[in-house]
Structure 1
Amino acid sequence: MNADDASVPSAVPREVLEDFERHLRVERGLSPHTLRAYLGDIRDLSRYAAEVGASGLDGIDVALLRAWLARQHAHGRSRATLARRTAAARTFTAYLFRRGLLADDPGLLLGTPKQPRDLPTVLTQDQAARLLDDLRGEGPIGLRDRAVLEMLYATGVRVSELCGLDIDDLDTERQTVRVLGKGDKERTVPVGDPAARAVQEWLRHGRPALATEHSGPALFLGARGGRLHPTSARRIVHSRIAEAGDMPDVSPHGFRHTAATHLLEGGADLRSVQEMLGHASLQTTQIYTRVSVERLKQVHRQAHPRGTA
């Protein structure tokens, strides 16, 4: 909690906010980014409650929550921000109710603003194959870049998860990789033959040339021998796609979208894709079914004799 908050009127006692922070960090295992966002939202709610004369925690009811969110809307907050602040408020009131600090949970009565979700940009299967087949793996940097792109496409891992991999996370016999995802949740993801071969080439002939005494167990290294940073991994992806030409400039997250979409197009079920990607909710995974349907519609319009009016 910030020191400046002590001088700001607040309906929520400081010790409650500090315990809520521990709850989010330890019990819920939220990422640092989400943790900061939720705490900021609840501090804002607390200040608003004090402004309108709410008498402590008992004054936090559904009418106050709706009025607070209405003010956010009036101030031009985006749907994404409103949805997050609604989620933060519901998490907070559920915490208060479980701790016995509220007689009931007003957050249960809040609706969630629907967010329009744009379909992610993905590579076609032909584009992905051309990109990876034509990628030169010469020298330590070339071998690393090829292994990075192959792993992103093969596993669908987040770029932070890829950069966090250690050498012993890869099981070459079983062709799987152990991934530490959001909320420190561990999952095992299959790795196909091309990606496994690319990583083995990197480990044999590329990594030793870049490794230093400070490299530690990191699977992927930067040019100076330290653990590869997500920013550098993003730069690798964009530059290699630019070299290939004639395909969308997708990010590492675009590779994640691409992997999921191609799995579904190949017949994988949603639950398996959810497990592979480490999604907490199946609803998050379902967006990729929309990508596949949109692609089928496009093929139908182009190929079917009566696909267009």
Structure 2
Amino acid sequence: MPIPRPSRSGTSGCTSNCAQLERHLPAYREYLLDRGNAAGYVRCREAAVAHLSMWMAQADKRLANIDEGFVTDFVERHLPRCKCATVARHPASVRAALGHLLVVLRAAGAIAPMPQDATPVGQELRCYDQYMAQVRGLAPKTREGGLRVVEALLRKHFGDGDIQFEAITPERVRRFFASQARNYTTPSSLGVVVSALRGYFRWRATLGDRTHALVGAVSYPANWQLAPLPKSLAPEEVEQLIASLGQTGPSMRRADAMVRCALDLGLRSGEVARLSLDDIDWEAGTITLRRTKGRREDVMPLPLATGQAIAAYLRDERPRTQHRMVFARHMTPREQPIGPDLVRKTIRQAYARAGLPHTRAHLLRHTMASRLLAGGSSLKEVADVLRHRSLNTTLIYAKLDSRRLVEVALPWPGSCAAGAAGRQS
């Protein structure tokens, strides 16, 4: 879709800018197509770029000035009163199209890189992020969570001003921790704040700051890991969930296969998302799990019902993609692999269709452990199936092994059984 050029006189500068923008259209189109977008989607996005070009010509805007603020000004000020000869006026659609345009223009060096936070706090966070990545080797998501906590601490005390680290006292850290505690519901989730603060203070110690008192100002909340009973679906709820599978509709076969992977194999959400076509050996009836939480490869038998659900999805519903992941996105960008969030959302929706009040996808993993114990499996066998590296991790399920707990239960004081035991002694 060529970009319309103004025809009136005295617009040579605008025409030049339009030509510069038009020069990036092939790269823009290729960028969208490489991400698995349909041709109709690409045409709609190109129409939004053409609309931007018309506005730039009318308002005498230059290509080099395009950035996030430029896009916001176009979407929020121009679109509400737009009278241009175009149908590309929907704010959300136009904003998405121009977001892709910014990526393409920056990759080509046509516009300035994304602006960085130039405040002292912003610079501090970038240095700390580099340390976490290069020295500690932390994953991007872990670094992101830690930076969010540290930024809240620094912004609270210094705003956009200079960082005077000695002004952060143990008492201030405790008050900050107390304020953050209101945002978390469980001790384990609040432990993320403790870990983030302690990690940051220890990094400052490597820079010569005295942070021993700050590290000791916060401690992990009591979290008795084996105190509660592991939650799982009751047998009748399992039957109810299985009975709800096989419905017709968009993405229903994908949902069935995901539920089966979690319920029959005990896979975590991330393991379901990372499952590759190359991981399934259909002839041997096995499935290989790679890049697991235990950082090892595990070969497991593929149950018949699970294999049938996956095969039905691959045969009848999965869109064509260039990647080899089993589960693909059914909406653009299709070439971008799915993540664990989509798996969790899909399982939540499966609960709702079955009329179950649950929301946590991990319940299906607990349910598998409970079913194994009820069927007579030992804790060691459960640990092997769940791929726990330590048997201690599996001990929480011992409280669900009612068959063996009955064997060690003592008579209740005052009961007939207790009286009989006393007479025998």
Displacement of 1:112 in angstroms is: 1.3
Choose which of 253, 261, 264 in structure 2 pairs with 1:154: 264
Cα distance in structure 2, aligned partners of 1:190 and 1:84: 33
When residues 131 and 212 of structure 1 are mapped into structure 2, their CA distance, relative to the original with a 3 A threshold, is closer
Q: Spell out, residue by residue over 1:4-60, the C-alpha distance to the aligned partner (whole angstroms, 9 max, x if none).
A: 671xxx6xx65442121123345342352x433321211222244548x99834555
Q: Which residue in the other structure is 1:164 paired with?
A: 274
> Residue 179 of structure 1: CA displacement?
3.7
Instruction: Report matched runs for 1:1-309 at 5 Å.
Output: 3=116, 6=119, 14-26=122-134, 27-32=136-141, 34-50=142-158, 56-60=164-168, 62-70=170-178, 72=180, 76-78=182-184, 80=186, 82-97=190-205, 99-103=206-210, 105-106=212-213, 108-109=215-216, 110-114=218-222, 121-124=231-234, 127-128=237-238, 131-132=241-242, 135-136=245-246, 144-171=254-281, 173=284, 175-181=286-292, 186-194=295-303, 197-202=304-309, 204-214=311-321, 216-221=323-328, 226=334, 233-234=343-344, 236-238=346-348, 240-241=350-351, 249-262=358-371, 266-269=377-380, 272=383, 276=387, 285=393, 289=396, 293=399, 296=402
Report the Cα distance in structure 2 between the residues aligned to 1:205 and 1:71, rounded to whole angstroms.
50
The alignment's TM-score, normalised by the length of structure 1, stands at: 0.65
Tell me the amino acid that sits aligned with residue 362 of structure 2.
H
AA partner of residue 165 (structure 1): L
Q: Is the 8 A contact 1:121 1:254 kept in 2?
A: yes
CA contact (8 A) 1:154 1:191 kept: no
Q: Name stretches of at least 5 consecutive residues in structure 2 with no aligned partner.
A: 1-113, 416-425
Q: 2 CA distance for matches of 1:253 and 1:306?
A: 35
Corresponding letter in the other structure for 1:177: T
User: Larger relative CO (CA 8 A, sep 6+): 1 or 2?
Assistant: 1
| Aligned amino acid, residue 219 of structure 1 | V
SS in 2 for 1:180: coil
Q: What is the CA–CA distance in structure 2 between the aligned matches of 1:199 and 1:140, rounded to whole Å?
A: 20
| CA deviation map 1:93-130 (0-9, x unaligned) | 22233x34335544542321235887554113565367
Identity across the alignment (%): 19
Determine the C-alpha separation between the residues in 1 that align with 2:238 and 2:324: 29
1:261 is displaced (CA, Å) by 4.4
On the 8 A contact 1:158/1:253 being kept in 2, the answer is yes
How many Å apart are 1:248 and its aligned residue? 5.4
Alpha-carbon distance between aligned partners in 2 of 1:305 and 1:96, rounded to the nearest angstrom: 58
In structure 2, the residue corresponding to 1:43 is in which secondary structure?
helix
Q: Distance in 1 between matches of 2:346 and 2:239?
A: 17
2: distance between equivalents of 1:131 and 1:222? 24
* Cα distance between partner residues in 2 of 1:165 and 1:150: 13
Conserved 8 A contact 2:319-2:328: no
Q: Is the 8 A contact 1:153 1:259 kept in 2?
A: yes
Give the conservation status (yes or no) of the 8 Å contact 2:260–2:309: no
Amino acid at match of 1:19: C
In 1, the alpha carbon distance for the partners of 2:199 and 2:290 equals: 27
2:146–2:196 contact (8 Å) kept in structure 1: yes
Structure 1: state its 5+ residue gaps: none
TM-score (norm: length of structure 2): 0.50
Q: CA RMSD in A?
A: 4.9
State the distance in 1 between where 2:241 and 2:183 align: 40
Question: 2:359, 2:208 → 1: CA distance?
Answer: 47
Distance 1:124 1:43 in 2: 43
**Of the two, which has the highest radius of gyration?**
2
Distance 1:201 1:105, change over 3 A: same
Where 2:362 maps in the other structure, the secondary structure is: helix
Conserved? CA contact 2:383–2:391, under 8 Å: no
Change (3 A) 1:222 1:55: closer
Alpha carbons 1:261, 1:292 under 8 Å: kept: no
Q: 1:139 to 1:175 in 2, by over 3 A?
A: farther
Determine if contact 1:122/1:250 at 8 Å carries over to the other structure.
no
Letter in 1 for 2:195: A
* Residues 241-294 of structure 1: CA deviation (Å, up to 9, x unaligned): 45656x65454222133234445663224994697268xx998x46x71x6526
Q: Deviations over 1:120-168 (max 9, x none)?
A: 5411356536744884499996654443222112333332331232211
Q: Distance in 1 between matches of 2:391 and 2:250?
A: 39
Letter in 1 for 2:268: R
- Provide the C-alpha distance between the structure 2 equivalents of 1:18 and 1:29, rounded to a whole number of angstroms: 14
